[in-house]
Amino acid sequence: MAELGARLLVADDNKVNRLLLGRTLELQGHQVSSADNGRRALQMLQAERFDLLLLDLEMPELDGFAVLEQLAADAELRDLPVIVTSSLEGVAHVARCIELGADDYLHKPVNPVLLKARVGSSLEKKRLRDQQKEQVKRFATSAVAQDLAQSGFSLGGRRVQ
């Protein structure tokens, strides 16, 4: 079940898109903040705790691809779920986003039913990852937990950071 009242950040340079997406998410029970470019989004993510980022690709100052790259390089933010919302067509854009760490990709205009399902799924995965991290901290020494956090490990044959 998706976590209600999650803190979401919508990063989109188009004010109408930010407002529509934000309102839709608020009606679904979430707390929504917004950023009008990638640089501002990163500043907000570093200053506050968010549960999910909805990210446009075509933005001034720092585009969505650059934001994804910086999130992946940041140990504190690399596990933040990201759903890309973009009007860019083509499998190559979707694949690049997923390769850079995005959890999902929704084409604009975003369908509210699909948005709710994807947000719920991403928040559930985040909840499970957070539980996993908490268990590692609880049952491993601080040195082991720190080493696992830095180097990652395998669960079910899949590499986990």
What does the pLDDT profile of the chain (161 residues) look like in tens digits?
A: 444 589 999 999 999 999 999 999 999 999 999 999 999 999 999 999 999 999 999 999 899 999 999 999 998 999 999 999 999 888 999 999 999 999 999 999 999 999 999 999 999 999 988 888 787 777 767 776 677 667 766 555 556 55
Bridge partners, residue 34, by sequence? 10
How far is it, in rounded angstroms, from Cα 130 to Cα 135? 9
Give the sign of the dihedral formed by CA 54, CA 110, CA 23, CA 113: negative
Q: What is the phi/psi pair of residue 77, to 5°?
A: -115, -5
Q: Which residues are within 8 A (CB) of 143 and not within 5 positions of it... i.e. 6 or more apart? A: none
Count Cβ neighbours within 10 Å for each residue of 102-125 and write b for 16 or more, e otherwise. Answer: bbbbbeeebeeeebbebbbebbee
How far is it, in rounded angstroms, from Cα 138 to Cα 113? 38
